[in-house]
Amino acid sequence: MGKIFIFIAALGLFLAFSFLVWKSTQGFMKKEYSKKFRKNWGFKMYHYTFILMVGGGFTVLFIKLLENTGLINP
C-alpha cells in the first residue's frame, strides 16, 4: 500500500480515537468539576493534552498491530 494511504488512515484513526476519548471523558469532567473551573485555561490545556496523548497512543498501537498482522506494509 502507498505511504499516502497509510498516512490518511493513521490521521483518520487519530481523529476517531481522540473523539472517542473526548466523548468518554466529557461526562466525567462535567460531573466532577465546576463550570468555572472547566473554563480555566490551564485545566483546558491539561485536558486537551491528555486527549491528544491518549488518542496518539491508541493510534500508534493500532498501526503497529496492523503492521504485525501483515495488513499493511510501510
Grid coordinates in use for 19? 473523539
The pTM score is: 0.79
Walk along the chain (74 residues) and give the pLDDT tens digit of each residue: 678 888 898 999 999 999 999 999 888 888 888 888 778 888 888 888 999 999 999 999 999 998 899 888 76
Q: What is the spatial distance between Cα 22 and Cα 2, in angstroms, rounded to a whole number?
A: 30
* Cβ density class 58-71: b for 16+ within 10 Å, e for less: bbeebbeebeeeee
Residue ranges of the domains in the chain?
A: 3-69
